A and B are shown apart, each in its own frame.
Chain A
Amino acid sequence: GESVGLHLPTLSVQEGDNSIINCAYSNSASDYFIWYKQESGKGPQFIIDIRSNMDKRQGQRVTVLLNKTVKHLSLQIAATQPGDSAVYFCAETSNSGNTPLVFGKGTRLSVIA
Chain B
Amino acid sequence: DGGITQSPKYLFRKEGQNVTLSCEQNLNHDAMYWYRQDPGQGLRLIYYSQIVNDFQKGDIAEGYSVSREKKESFPLTVTSAQKNPTAFYLCASGFRSLNIQYFGAGTRLSVL
Given A8-B40, A42-B106, A97–B99 Cβ distance below 8 Å?
yes
Q: Is there contact, CB below 8 Å, between A43 and B106?
A: yes
Q: How many residues of B contact A (CB 8 A)?
A: 29
Q: Is there contact, CB below 8 Å, between B99 and A95?
A: yes
Q: Is there contact, CB below 8 Å, between A100 and B48?
A: yes
Q: Is there contact, CB below 8 Å, between B43 and A89?
A: yes
How many of chain A's residues touch chain B, expressed as a range? 20 to 34
A101 within 8 A of B: yes
Contacts of A93 in B (CB 8 A): 99
| Chain B interface residues (CB < 8 Å from chain A) | 4, 6, 33, 35, 39-45, 48, 50, 58, 90, 92, 95-106, 108
| Chain A interface residues (CB < 8 Å from chain B) | 6-8, 32, 34, 36, 41-46, 49, 89, 93, 95, 97-101, 103-106
